[in-house]
Each structure stands twice: as C-alpha cells, then as structure tokens.
Amino acid sequence: MAVTIKSPREIELMRKAGEILAATHEELRKALRPGMSTLDIDRLGEKIIRSYGCIPSFKNYNGYPASICVSVNDEVVHGIPNRHRILKEGDIVSLDAGVIYQGYHSDAARTWAIGEVSPEAKQLMEVTKQSFFEGIKFAKAGYHLNDISTAIQSYAESFGYGVVRDLVGHGIGTHLHEDPEVPNFAMKRKGILLRPGMTLAIEPMINMGRPEVVWMDDDWTVVTEDGSLSAHYENTVLITEGEPEILSLLKEDK
Ligand code: MF3
Ligand code: CO
C-alpha cells in the first residue's frame, strides 16, 4: 500500500479523533490508582471512547480482546487487561489506545507512574517521552523517515537504554496501520521523503536494559527478555510544511 497524503477534510477528522484520544488518556490518567485492575482500566477506557461516539480501534483487531493495551513494568506493549492483575504503588503502566472517529483513526500511548516510583523508572518514562520529541524535530517536509528514527535511537541510547527493534510505528488514517513503517532505530536506507499531509503514529518503546523482547503464551503480551522495565510513548503526528502537528495531544500540551 502506498503512503497516502490526507486531504484537508481528512485532516480535520483526524484532528477530532486525536482530540478525543487525548481527552481519553487524560481521563484514564486521573483515574489510575493502586488497587485498580488492568481490566478496570480497559472498561473505563472503552466507556470514555464510546461516550465520544468513537469506536475503540483495538477491540478485536487481529483478535486482540480489549480496547486498551495495558502493559505493566517489564511488559512492553499489548498487555491484555485482566481482572486479577492489580496495580500497586511503584508500578509503571503503559496505556495504549486507539479510536476511530467518522472512519479516521488516531493512536496514542502514555506510560504513567502508580504512586511513587523509583528515580530510575521516572527517568525511563521521561526519556522515552523525550525521545519522541527528539524524533519529531525531523518530522517535517524535506526530511526523510530515517532522520526521525535515528534521532529517537540516539537520544534513548545516550542514556544506556535499549530501543525495541521488533515493533515499530506506522502510517495511520482510514486504517490503524498504514505504510510506512516508522522504526525507532536507524535503518541503512533513508526511507521515504516526508511530505505535508502524511500522518504517522510515532511510538518509541524503550527498555531500561537490553532491547530484546519476547512474546508471552497469550500471543499478545510483549515483555523484555531481561526482565527490565519498559516504557512507551506514542502520538499521531501530521507532517506540515513547518512544525509537525501532534494530533493526539491535549490543547494545553501543544
Ligand atoms: N499502538 C499499537 C500499534 O500501533 C496498538 C495496536 S494493539 C492492537 O500497533 F491490539 F490493536 F493490536
Ligand atoms: Co501505534
């Protein structure tokens, strides 16, 4: 499938999808507390998404059984919500969510602390988020995809962290996953030339230790091979002539 350029009408719909997703993440953040199960988060997230008239895009996607991916501590992504998995003080939890608004997708992830977490965990979360912002310094017309990938990797690795190789970001629009793939690590080729109207889900997944990951027996949950903590930060981003527009951020964070 070719990389698509979105029309002004499509961009408007993706803006709306992004706004709703940002609001969903904000509501989930406020609800998080020790004692909550990961299934509680999924139920609340689905309710919020539907209250905006959106469809949770992950539900039943390739058989994924929930609306929100909830990944705790050494879980990297795609954790399956479970009523027996209870959050406790000191955990870090990655929430990944996707919405469809009038046929258009937005996809975003955040990693939050449950109560007080270790300074090391805090740094991992901050660096993962910042690696996204380092990457999007190059999310502008005229740069190539690999400029984004390289910037994310160099920043995260400068802290000694492992950048996950087995999962990547992606184009997004009328489908959750469109071309191109957006790696968080440098490739040997420069990748596509970025053009205004392209929409990308850029999503660094960063491990405190080694980059290797393994899949659990549920065929979804991805965990770090060495058991180290992992963080995830993702937004849906529009390429423009100038600064990129981060569609899935709250207005006050833009
Ligand atoms: N942000 C993830 C991705 O882009 C979410 C997909 S999870 C799934 O791949 F459940 F929908 F598969
Ligand atoms: Co994604």
The CA 78 to ligand 1 mean position distance, Å, reads 7
The reported pLDDT for the residue numbered 254 is: 82
The CA 97 to ligand 1 mean position distance, Å, reads 8
- Give the pairing type, strands 235-238 and 92-101: unpaired
Contact status, residue 201 vs residue 170, Cβ threshold 8 Å: yes
The reported pLDDT for the residue numbered 123 is: 99
The CA 134 to ligand 2 mean position distance, Å, reads 18
Pocket test for ligand 1, best of 42, 59, 61 (most atoms within 8 A of CB): 61
The reported pLDDT for the residue numbered 175 is: 98
**Which stretches in the chain have pLDDT values below 50?**
none
Give CA angle at 134 (130, 136), nearest 5°.
Answer: 115
| Topology annotation, domain 8-247 | Creatine Amidinohydrolase (3.90.230)
In three-state secondary structure terms, 43 is helix
The reported pLDDT for the residue numbered 37 is: 98
Nearest to 172 by CA among 193, 146, 199: 199
Contact status, residue 13 vs residue 103, Cβ threshold 8 Å: yes
Nearest to 224 by CA among 156, 182, 162: 162
The reported pLDDT for the residue numbered 251 is: 87
Prediction pTM value: 0.98
Q: What CA–CA distance (Å, rounded) separates 140 from 240?
A: 6
Q: How many CA atoms lie within 13 A of 41 on its CB side?
A: 32
Q: What ligand 1 atom has the least distance to the C-alpha of 64? A: 10
